[in-house]
Amino acid sequence: MAVVKNRGLGRGLSALLADTPTPEVMRQASQIPISRIQPNKYQPRTHFSDLELESLTESIRKDGVLMPILLRPQGDGYELIAGERRWRASQAAGLQEIPAVVRDVDDLQALELAIIENEQRDDLTAIESARAYRRLIDEFGCTQQQVAEKIGVSRVQVSNLIRLLQLSPAIKEMIEKRELSMGQARPLVGLPSHVGERLARLCIAQALSARQMEREAKKAAKEPASRVKAEPDADVLALQDELTRKLGLPVEVICKKNGSGELKIAYTRPAELDAVLSRLRS
């Protein structure tokens, strides 16, 4: 059972985010038509595991929905606040109704609850958390300290996560795929994007620790400008992205002045290399 910290939500709301329902929560729940529920516009999570959803769908077919979802009134229906996986899996299982508790909460509370539900289950990537924290600041005027108090983390944690948003799209994608952790990616903030991306690919290929990444980033930051490899032009970057998508592994295209070059494919385990070879042979 997940332990829900009291983050100023009050015992009632905290109980609605637990894994196991209390008798009080079950008394508040009622059956709501799934067709009248719309997704949470403040949902910070953008990636849902198909495997996890399939497993939950089978569980719901067998035992039903054990923990009510949390909704708020919206127009002539409801908006989801917490429990999107249960809602999605219930639809996949063919249910017409789902047990739910309805609470009249404002937009700020809806975003807070969505963040807390996901973070207590370790569902959010570092980038998803960072974007959610930034939204609390930009849309609701919260300070970093207020975000920390609302979510139940340290102010330093909030600051470090938000700084990750300065990274290039390629590095942020690696974080969202959980190829890089926050600790591994944090030293890359402030480096030129092509240098950061090179180190990120090195980290994945060699399974470097956060401490090792700090050392690599410090060395890269001290390199004279004349020794720093020029950033590839837009066509080369587009080619790298295309090859990376098609092969499923980080690809680097190195172009030399004499027209020659190198193609580097980074992999972390033999199975990944086998997968690339299989795609090339087909």
State the helix-helix crossing angle for 84-92 and 50-63, rounded to 10 degrees: 70
**Contact yes or no for 65/86 (Cβ under 8 A):** yes
**Contact yes or no for 199/217 (Cβ under 8 A):** yes
Which residues does the annotation mark as catalytic?
84
d(CA 1, CA 10) in angstroms, rounded, equals 19
Q: Is 10 left (phi over 0), alpha (psi -120 to 50) or beta?
A: left
Q: Which two structure tokens, joined as six digits, stand for 23?
A: 């008798």
d(CA 188, CA 173) in angstroms, rounded, equals 14
